[in-house]
Amino acid sequence: MSIITPSLLLDHMRCVHKVWRDNYGPKAEFVDEANPFLKLLWDRGIQHEADVVAGFGFEYVDCGKGTESERIAQTNAALAARVEFIYQGTLAHGNLFGIPDLLQFIDGEYVPIEIKSGSAGEGGDDISDGKPKKEYGVQLALYADILNKKGLNSSRRAFVIDKTGERVEYFLDAPMGARTPETMWELYQRIRADVEAALRDELQNDPAMCGSCKDCGWYASCKNWAKENDDLTQLFYVGRTARDTIRRDLDSSRIDDLIANDVDAIVAQKKVDKAFLKGIGESTLTKMIARGRLLKSEGDPVMYDRFDFPVVGTELFFDIETDPTRILSICRVLGPRQRGRAV
């Protein structure tokens, strides 16, 4: 029986291929090396959690020490005693496993609480506009699922203590947004089912290159696969969804096959069949083909329109890539007018 953890769910959300490749991929091609940026984020998260815990104005039972079995036993004892606050409790039931930062006994049930060093909402906002972070919500839903199966949670309430120290409620049974009728609980159930299928080798798919791939130990392996298979995701801004759509409707996901197509004929077919290459418009398709031809010819980059920076009295240049965690802070300091000049 494969154990489902929050990290497995998050891996699947970031790359639907990773869970399968971790278990059935060519192990010799995996590169396990420390990523300085990921370590920075991890350290920041640990320090933020420590700061929040240090500021707790209440007593709690700490179940974060000992072996896994000892921690599970400590947590179960605290749950049975209805301790109001449990820190670093270890939850396990069936094939589900997780360690929420905090559990609180509220209105006759336990609710999971996660301490995060980021914002509670998507895009750095709060969730007053109905846009909770999916990664946070799915993680909380796993904890709520275990508690529910233990008979300790029925409301599916959960909370995030974000970077501001504010406690934000996540309504797992509510639609995730005005245009997203799916609830966080439904998203969790769907992702969990996919992860379980991948672990059983029943859900397989091909690698796809994207921006986040460089943080993964499979990066070189998947990149080699993409080159060997002439995969479309080697092209700028062509992701898994577009690649799979083209493969389904044009019977190939190879760059050579795409650039051999007649764009006018494809556009004509799209006008007749609205489902054909759905989500890929004429301009996008034209760019894909142009980039494919450029890649195959190994030519110089093409600039279609000349761009001249305006002449101003003072120019400010910021190398914001040295610490991506501070980009938003820099932008807030600069203000809207100066932001446009930061390069």
Nearest-Å Rg of the Cα atoms of the chain is 24
Tens of pLDDT, residue by residue, the chain (343 residues): 789 999 999 999 999 999 999 999 999 999 987 777 677 777 777 887 888 888 888 899 999 999 999 999 999 999 999 999 999 999 999 999 999 999 999 999 999 999 998 888 886 555 555 588 999 999 999 999 999 999 999 999 999 999 888 899 999 999 988 888 999 999 999 999 999 999 999 998 999 998 888 889 999 999 999 999 999 999 998 999 999 999 999 999 999 999 999 999 999 999 999 999 999 999 999 999 999 999 999 888 777 788 888 899 998 887 765 555 554 443 434 444 343 333 3
Angstrom distances, CA of residue 191 to CA of 17, 135, 138, 246: 13, 11, 9, 24
Angstrom distances, CA of residue 244 to CA of 19, 259, 289: 19, 16, 16
